[in-house]
Amino acid sequence: MNPGKDDKLVLITNDDGIYAPGLRTLLEVMEEFGKVVLISTMESMSGMSQALTVKTPLRVKLLEENDNHRIYACNGTPADSIKLAVNQLLDRKPDWVVSGINHGANASVSVLYSGTMAAAIEGCLYGIDSVGFSLNDFTRAADFSSCRKYVRIVMGTLSSEPLPQGICLNVNIPSVPESEIRGIMICRQAKGNWKEEFEKRKDPMGKTYYWLTGLFQNHEPEACDTDEWALSNNYVSVVPVSVDMTAHWYINKLKEKFNT
């Protein structure tokens, strides 16, 4: 694969591993836009957030190459994968970082835990237009066919006008037949959290261990401008995500509190 000067160079990854159907769907659609470099892990990296590998060495292996794409396997997190690709594997800065399509939604506060969104945020920190896509279905049998249209629309829109510095997109697609999707809704991250219910078990030695499970709770189910609302009403949600986590509106009040 030799991307020409006028070819778009697209870097893609995910957090469900290299064999995930969602990633394969994304690869096929992104090849319509340009040359694609795919980097992912052999195993799933769900819930890895923006974690970096600092205590073990990173390894990467070229698995496949043809005229349209190059596929690498890596042993790091999604954030590691983007860093490695941008710094070591690519001859030039990619035009886009596209992550997903995740098996399961990454709406509301899941953006904080998501490896898929971490990869998009990582691309954004390098000044690259970046998008994370997720389908609201975490099962292996998830049907990604309705996603194709919306990946095309979102990336087509970015083709004509890039995003501002420090902003990437979090796109969640409802898991319904394409005909039932009511379109795209630009929205904000819903307020909510995960209510954890740890499963407490005993191992064969009689020692206690825990499995993390959980149930998402939307704290504002009535608000109709959130990603959670969009998804439950069969809209594709698009949230602009900022790498700046400052609560700007609270700075002056905090100054009063601290008398500074």
Amino acid identity of residue 253, one-letter, is K
Write the CB contacts of 59 (distance below 8 Å, at least 6 apart in sequence): 74, 75
Residue numbers 181-220 binding a second copy by CB under 8 A: 183-189, 191, 193-194, 196-198, 200-201, 203, 207-212
Euclidean distance between CA atoms 162 and 40, whole angstroms: 25
Terminal alpha carbon distance of the chain: 57
Residue 138 binds to a second copy (criterion: CB under 8 A): no
Quick one: which segment of 6-14, 51-59, 62-70, 95-103 binds a second copy (CB under 8 A)? 51-59
Q: How far is the CB of 229 from a second copy (least distance, A)?
A: 14
Quick one: which segment of 6-14, 92-100, 138-146, 178-186 binds a second copy (CB under 8 A)? 178-186
Q: Can you tell me which of 19, 32, 42, 59 binds a second copy, judged by CB under 8 A?
A: 59
Residue numbers 74-113 binding a second copy by CB under 8 A: 77, 79-80, 83-84, 86-88, 109, 111-113
Which residue shows structure tokens 């990336």? 155
Residue numbers 228-247 binding a second copy by CB under 8 A: 238-247
Which residue shows structure tokens 């004509």? 160
Amino acid identity of residue 22, one-letter, is G
Residue 32 binds to a second copy (criterion: CB under 8 A): no
Q: What backbone torsions phi and psi does residue 43 show, to the nearest 5 degrees?
A: -115, 165
